[in-house]
């Protein structure tokens, strides 16, 4: 899953819609079992088996269509958190529909405090701002640091940051895969050292 997400993020950064869709389709396949668990964790037994299946189906449908265009994260953790939020919202929708259709009673998934939604929205906005600031900081650092890395390592790093896998890098540069791994590893160590200088 990490590889598909990395390729998706690289395609998104390049505005390559076709590659984004292909990578996202792989993520949808990878995420099905996890989504089932996230839906169950969201409703904690408050939905019956049929409602659970409906919720999983709706969550996967939204994951495969809507989340691809709205997900702005870069890590598996961020994707899981986005899916948790999605699963919780779907469970609330399914429970509300079920209550209207069946008039059954049970503990609600809707937050008791109406201010909770406003707090959540403020937290989400703050997280988006922090993420944008981190992204800008990484870009500024790379613009400063990459020219200082040896050319052979820099080329491997640039291809990596654009979503290329090691076999593709090796083929592009006419080197072995082992050599590409080695250059990438050494280049990342160079960046780590340079980051310490950059931060001081």
CATH number at 174 reads: 1.10.10.10
Quick check: is 116 in a domain?
Answer: no
Q: Are residues 19 and 87 in the same domain?
A: yes
Q: Are residues 21 and 99 in the same domain?
A: yes
Number of folded domains in the chain? 2
Question: What average pLDDT does this structure show over 49-58?
Answer: 84
Q: What is the percentage of the chain residues whose pLDDT exceeds 70?
A: 88
Measured between alpha carbons, how far is residue 133 from residues 113, 128, 137 in Å?
A: 31, 9, 6
Tens digits of per-residue pLDDT, 115-169?
555 566 777 777 777 777 777 888 888 889 999 999 999 999 888 877 788 888 9
Q: Are residues 106 and 48 in the same domain?
A: yes
Residue 105 has pLDDT above 60, yes or no: no
Q: Are residues 74 and 173 in the same domain?
A: no
Quick check: is 119 in a domain?
Answer: no
Residue 58 in tokens? 């709706």
Question: What average pLDDT does this structure show over 64-86?
Answer: 83
Band the pLDDT of 44: cuts 50, 70, 90: confident
Q: Which domain holds residue 17?
A: 2-110
Domain boundary among 79, 110, 141: 110
pLDDT at residue 155, as a whole number: 93
Residue 191 has pLDDT above 90, yes or no: no
Q: Are residues 14 and 76 in the same domain?
A: yes
pLDDT at residue 81, as a whole number: 86
């Amino acid at each position: 899953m990490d590889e598909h997400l990395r390729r998706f993020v690289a395609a998104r950064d390049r505005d390559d819609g076709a590659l984004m869709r292909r990578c996202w389709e792989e993520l949808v396949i990878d995420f099905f079992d996890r989504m089932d668990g996230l839906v169950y964790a969201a409703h904690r037994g408050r939905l019956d088996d049929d409602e659970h299946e409906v919720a999983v189906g709706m969550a996967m449908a939204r994951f495969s269509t809507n989340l691809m265009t709205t997900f702005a994260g870069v890590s598996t953790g961020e994707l899981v958190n986005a899916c948790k939020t999605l699963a919780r919202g779907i469970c609330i929708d399914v429970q509300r529909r079920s209550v209207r259709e069946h008039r059954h009673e049970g503990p609600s998934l809707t937050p008791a405090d109406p201010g909770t939604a406003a707090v959540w929205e403020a937290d989400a906005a703050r997280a988006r701002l922090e993420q944008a600031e981190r992204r800008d900081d990484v870009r500024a650092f790379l613009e400063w640091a990459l020219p200082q890395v040896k050319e052979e390592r820099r080329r491997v790093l640039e291809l990596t940051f654009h979503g290329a896998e090691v076999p593709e890098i090796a083929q592009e540069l006419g080197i072995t895969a082992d050599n590409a791994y080695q250059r990438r590893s050494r280049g990342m160590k160079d960046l780590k050292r340079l980051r310490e200088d950059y931060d001081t």
